[in-house]
Structure 1
Amino acid sequence: MFEEASEVFDNMLKASFPFTFIVFIPAVLILVSPLPAEAAHEFAVYRMQQYDLQGQPYGTRNAILNTEARTVEAEVLSRRCVIMRLADFSYDKYQKALRQSAGAVVIILPKNMSAMPQDIVQQFMELEPEMLATETIVPVYFAMEDDELLSIYTQTLTSSSSQGSLSAAEVLLHTATANGFQMVTSGAQSKAISDWAITSLEGRLAGVGGEDLPTIVVVAHYDSFGVAPWLSYGADSNGSGVSMLLELARLFSKLYTYKRTHAGYNLLFFVSGGGKFNYQGTKRWLEDNLDHTDSSLLQDNVAFVLCLDTLGNGDSLHLHVSKPPKEGTPQFSLLKELESVVTSQYPEVKFSMVHKKINLADDMLAWEHERFGIRRLPAFTLSHLPSHRLAQRSSIMDVRSVREKAQQEHQGGSRGTGQGHLQPHREGMKIWGSLIQALHLSAVVDWLTAQPRAAQLVDKDSSVVSTLEYHLGRYLKDVKRHYVKADKRDPEFVFYDQLKQTMNAYRVKPAIFDLLLAVCIAAYLGMMYLAIQVSGPSLLWHMHHVT
């Protein structure tokens, strides 16, 4: 059978040229064509922040994407998805895409952001607030780099860069033959989340020595913030502050079990939610305790409120105050104790007090202690940052890179909070130093930074809240939850969904390729028709004699 087929095929080749061209050439092209490449790549994307605060919209307003990919090097970006790598990112390039009405922007992040050059990290951290300063109609996404996504970027970059240096004919040919990528998201348009509850936690330890004891309040907000909620891990801000609060709760729970180390102060610990949104959790907690109840430790004798914020890095320690403490007050004693401990035990740490008045005209408060200061409670914030304006407090670059040495230094600074007021005997000071567990503290930071803690992602059923509640319950008494929901008529804050989506990059040919392909098919069919018209009778006679 194969000999007969080969003989027929050989006779076909010996026939007229048009027949060979019509039948043989397409068959060869089909047989030798390579296997089709992977047509699509699916990957997760994380959308830029979208929220309203005090009626002002921030972040991107869209969450739908279905358009062709380009890099910022292309001349025309209108209605295109502009993809760029973080290493090449700049605010000018970002603004170029927005000015040209790009369809979307996708920023590719490296797998290990903590290993990035420090200058790139610092540059991007400073740009994040500018990206969020006003609302953006264009959807903006972030994606983690992988081999397929990097290949898509490289091919798109080559295509976008070459068009500017070619002639019109070359551009036409290149456009027709180059591979393109259609970027499509699978999610729906974003919408406001109704009845979202921000959760805060409270626990206490009772002092000894009679009734009406003064109260010391220790506060830290647990939520993180960055340009993309799903990438906001907040190791330093404020994973470090929460880990310090939990460690202090653990230490004092031990110290308050012994008479010789049981101080004459009530201790109130508060882990607040919504800290990155103007301290909404703290605001509601103060209202509930000062305006809507007759019995609260905050209504009695409050010695001071110590807020812990951003304590995991750096070689300095700052006590931020709204009003300098007066001599003879517990606040002044705390300041002097901190100075003494740092100077005698940690001379390499630079300690200072930073005075900044509360500016009620600002939409956002600078530090959490200002919420207490507005209600005339003596409060201050302990941080390694000299200013609230520094970008480290609100960045997706704030990942787990806390140095153990710095942690121990700041633990030493935190020890001063108890030595003047909570440790009436020298024996207590010795016990304090022996109880500090750096590994335990580090493990808490590891857990806190294992998942994003943006306020939009942490609801009342979140594992973050339940785990914090569990740890506080191990060390403290009367652990309670406090919720805050936005007012429906005039909401202080509004959150939106569709913050994490799946994106598909489909390999496509441009529209002009379909046009040229149609022309080639029409020409081919025309040639076939002419060939049959010219050589049809002789070809049929030849085929009849062959068979």
Structure 2
Amino acid sequence: MRRPVKCSTTCLNSFPLTFIVFIPAVLILVSPLPAEAAHEFTVYRMQQYDLQGQPYGTRNAILNTEARTVEAEVLSRRCVIMRLAEFSYEEYQKALRQSAGAVVIILPKNMSAMPQDIVQQFMELEPEMLATETVVPVYFAMEDDELLSIYTQTLTSSSSQGSLSAAEANGFQMVTSGAQSKAISDWAITSLEGRLAGVGGEDLPTIVVVAHYDSFGVAPFHKRANFRCILHTTDTSTLHTHFVVFRYNLLFFVSGGGKFNYQGTKRWLEDNLDHTDSSLLQDNVAFVLCLDTLGNGDTMHLHVSKPPKEGSPQFTLLKELELVSENQFPDVKFSMVHKKINLADDMLAWEHERFGIRRLPAFTLSHLASHRLAQRASIMDARSVSPPLATERESPLLGGPHVDVQKLSRNTKLVAEALARVIYNLTEKGAPGDLQIFTEQMVQDEQLSAVVDWLTAQPRAAQLVDKDSSVVSTLEDPEFVFYDQLKQTMNAYRVKPAIFDLLLAVCISAYLGVMYLAIQLFFHLCTEPFSAHT
């Protein structure tokens, strides 16, 4: 009579042990492909800023959704992954129209190796992508082996989504670690300036050499190499140690915020012209030479808002540039481009226009014939991975977007030679046009290459510039409003599709139901002998 009772008690006491032992086994059996470790990689969000109240770029930064490619039938609330090599603006618009959760564009490691038709297409699309206010967060990432593997697996599952079973269709959950973007209220512009005084001090006329160091593109990650190079001003300053008579004061200004309507230059002019007590710009300014995009090409254009008058220092520089390019650098085609300042435009064309508005004689030297060319603001303009002194691959786009260290060195020498002839009035003294002032030791390709490597070691978007460095000018009433969360860390987790979760829930429910019936039946069998004996 006690045995049946003992048997029933034993069966009931073993019930929790059954769940502990068998449920983990069921979970392992129904998930034959365990989740892989997450891949962590850096992404850069599309530019987001406001210009005089008009929004530009993407307006969202949060991402936590499943990955798909454009081949998938349904893109709504999915993270659409694209490779730049197969990028299509129509497919990009398709993702936006279907209310995708996000778009991630994967860029190649070596952009200079990209087919030039793709480079040209994307460079032309960048302004259009920025001009459109986009609710969907758009990110850019540099390709690596693991990210390429994620894209390949996602492409396979997206292309054959209908033919794969729930157990076979694996995916990735794309998650960003940052918060929603918000306006930066304390955005500061960092600018640098230096001065070389000539013999005669303050009474001498001043030549101002200007360049802006920041870069710009559809995303703020790119490490612009075809920059407005202030390098040759460093070489020009070595004249001070080789000549006794210095007929001009030289003022060097490296500005920030250049790609945002030259805001650093605007504030610097306000500080130096509206506050005469601390002004670096004297009344006797000979001219302002702005440098913009001199890292490539076989052309040299002097962009002016007003043609210089004969006999003026500006006219002298124009003639010296023509003379030096003709006699010492015949492979360079030099010309002057005249364009009036259009104050009705929201964005100025060239940096010298900031000085022209303040009635200072100024012009811009560039290898580009027009300010509208896409090379001036593109993520395609990146440092090549080829050896430092090797001539990097050119595109037919007026010299291509990539820097050529050899041509950069040549342009450095050309500008330095022309400035030296102006400073020391060599033409009036009868010096021949082929007289070279700078030797090979003064302008070294190795030095230029090292500086290029240093400048392209990190992104130089205006929003990412370190504020802890010396700040010359800060915008108090900015025309631009910037937003943070441009650089984040994204994680890709391998996950099962939603139908797999449903299948797993059904399996667990069925298992629990069977276990419940088995326990009830077993309990009934154990208690029957006891009832019969009673």
TM-score, normalising length from structure 1? 0.72
Is residue 218–residue 268 contact of structure 1 (8 Å, CA) maintained in 2?
yes
CA distance in structure 2 between the partners assigned to 1:66 and 1:362 by the alignment: 39
CA distance in structure 2 between the partners assigned to 1:349 and 1:442 by the alignment: 21
* Matching of residues 106-125 of structure 1 within 5 Å: 106-125=104-123
CA distance in structure 2 between the partners assigned to 1:348 and 1:162 by the alignment: 55
Is residue 220–residue 271 contact of structure 1 (8 Å, CA) maintained in 2?
yes
1:345 is aligned, of 328, 331, 350, to: 328
Distance 1:464 1:152, change over 3 A: farther
Paired residue total: 448
Is 2:157 the partner of 1:159?
yes
- Which moves more between the two structures, 130-139 or 503-512? 503-512
2:288 is aligned, of 282, 296, 305, to: 305
Alignment deviations for residues 101-141 of structure 1 (CA, whole Å, 9 cap, x no partner): 11111111122223322322222222211111132111111
Which structure dedicates a bigger proportion of its chain to helix? 1
Percent identity between matched residues is: 91
Is residue 53–residue 277 contact of structure 1 (8 Å, CA) maintained in 2?
no
Is residue 55–residue 491 contact of structure 1 (8 Å, CA) maintained in 2?
no
Distance 1:255 1:532, change over 3 A: closer
CA distance in structure 2 between the partners assigned to 1:254 and 1:463 by the alignment: 25
Is residue 206–residue 287 contact of structure 2 (8 Å, CA) maintained in 1?
yes
CA distance in structure 2 between the partners assigned to 1:80 and 1:314 by the alignment: 43
Distance 1:465 1:215, change over 3 A: closer
Unmatched tracts of structure 2, length 5 or more: 1-13, 221-236, 386-400, 409-440, 526-532
CA distance in structure 1 between the partners assigned to 2:402 and 2:19 by the alignment: 103
Is residue 18–residue 528 contact of structure 1 (8 Å, CA) maintained in 2?
no
1:212 is aligned, of 203, 207, 216, to: 203
Is residue 78–residue 100 contact of structure 1 (8 Å, CA) maintained in 2?
yes
Alignment deviations for residues 489-511 of structure 1 (CA, whole Å, 9 cap, x no partner): x5312222111111122222222
Q: Secondary structure at the match of 1:190?
A: coil
Alignment deviations for residues 216-240 of structure 1 (CA, whole Å, 9 cap, x no partner): 11000111112221xxxxxxxxxxx
What corresponds to 2:522 in structure 1? Answer: 540
Q: Secondary structure at the match of 2:473?
A: helix
What corresponds to 1:443 in structure 2? Answer: 450
Is residue 22–residue 528 contact of structure 1 (8 Å, CA) maintained in 2?
no
Distance 1:266 1:22, change over 3 A: closer
Distance 1:112 1:464, change over 3 A: farther
Displacement of 1:31: 7.7
Distance 1:523 1:360, change over 3 A: same
CA distance in structure 1 between the partners assigned to 2:447 and 2:160 by the alignment: 55
Unmatched tracts of structure 1, length 5 or more: 1-15, 171-177, 230-252, 403-423, 470-489, 534-538
Distance 1:394 1:465, change over 3 A: farther
Is residue 206–residue 265 contact of structure 1 (8 Å, CA) maintained in 2?
yes
Displacement of 1:148: 2.3
Alignment deviations for residues 267-292 of structure 1 (CA, whole Å, 9 cap, x no partner): 11111111011001111111111122
What corresponds to 1:226 in structure 2? Answer: 217
CA distance in structure 2 between the partners assigned to 1:302 and 1:445 by the alignment: 30
Distance 1:429 1:327, change over 3 A: farther
Distance 1:338 1:38, change over 3 A: same
Distance 1:137 1:542, change over 3 A: closer
Is residue 180–residue 510 contact of structure 1 (8 Å, CA) maintained in 2?
yes
Q: Secondary structure at the match of 1:298?
A: coil
Distance 1:217 1:68, change over 3 A: same
CA distance in structure 1 between the partners assigned to 2:167 and 2:238 by the alignment: 80
Q: Secondary structure at the match of 1:155?
A: helix
Is residue 198–residue 459 contact of structure 1 (8 Å, CA) maintained in 2?
no
CA distance in structure 1 between the partners assigned to 2:405 and 2:155 by the alignment: 65
Distance 1:468 1:120, change over 3 A: farther
Displacement of 1:159: 1.8
Q: Secondary structure at the match of 1:35?
A: coil
Displacement of 1:299: 3.8
Alignment deviations for residues 57-97 of structure 1 (CA, whole Å, 9 cap, x no partner): 21111111111111111122111111111111121111111
Distance 1:304 1:524, change over 3 A: same
What corresponds to 1:196 in structure 2? Answer: 187
Distance 1:265 1:120, change over 3 A: same
Is residue 257–residue 263 contact of structure 2 (8 Å, CA) maintained in 1?
yes
Distance 1:32 1:271, change over 3 A: closer
- Which moves more between the two structures, 521-530 or 118-127? 521-530
Distance 1:113 1:542, change over 3 A: same
Displacement of 1:386: 0.8
Distance 1:212 1:396, change over 3 A: same
Distance 1:522 1:393, change over 3 A: same
- Which moves more between the two structures, 454-463 or 25-34? 25-34
Distance 1:162 1:212, change over 3 A: same
CA distance in structure 1 between the partners assigned to 2:404 and 2:497 by the alignment: 79
What corresponds to 1:426 in structure 2? Answer: 403
Displacement of 1:27: 6.8
What corresponds to 1:269 in structure 2? Answer: 252
Displacement of 1:364: 0.3
Alignment deviations for residues 428-475 of structure 1 (CA, whole Å, 9 cap, x no partner): 9999xx522232222211111111111111133149999999xxxxxx
Displacement of 1:212: 2.3
Alignment deviations for residues 377-434 of structure 1 (CA, whole Å, 9 cap, x no partner): 11110011111111111122211249xxxxxxxxxxxxxxxxxxxxx99999999xx5
Distance 1:264 1:426, change over 3 A: farther
CA distance in structure 2 between the partners assigned to 1:498 and 1:336 by the alignment: 48
Displacement of 1:168: 13
CA distance in structure 1 between the partners assigned to 2:507 and 2:315 by the alignment: 87
Alignment deviations for residues 288-343 of structure 1 (CA, whole Å, 9 cap, x no partner): 11122156353411111100110001111111111111212111111111111111
CA distance in structure 2 between the partners assigned to 1:365 and 1:55 by the alignment: 18
Is residue 188–residue 475 contact of structure 2 (8 Å, CA) maintained in 1?
no
Is residue 267–residue 473 contact of structure 2 (8 Å, CA) maintained in 1?
no
Displacement of 1:350: 1.2
Distance 1:507 1:334, change over 3 A: same
Distance 1:197 1:33, change over 3 A: closer
CA distance in structure 2 between the partners assigned to 1:132 and 1:333 by the alignment: 41
Displacement of 1:200: 1.2
Distance 1:343 1:311, change over 3 A: same
CA distance in structure 2 between the partners assigned to 1:385 and 1:438 by the alignment: 22
CA distance in structure 1 between the partners assigned to 2:16 and 2:214 by the alignment: 74
Distance 1:77 1:333, change over 3 A: same
Is residue 296–residue 403 contact of structure 2 (8 Å, CA) maintained in 1?
no
CA distance in structure 2 between the partners assigned to 1:500 and 1:272 by the alignment: 23
Is residue 19–residue 531 contact of structure 1 (8 Å, CA) maintained in 2?
no
CA distance in structure 2 between the partners assigned to 1:430 and 1:165 by the alignment: 55
CA distance in structure 1 between the partners assigned to 2:285 and 2:473 by the alignment: 28
* Matching of residues 287-436 of structure 1 within 5 Å: 287-294=270-277, 296-401=279-384, 435-436=442-443
Displacement of 1:100: 1.1
Q: Secondary structure at the match of 1:392?
A: helix
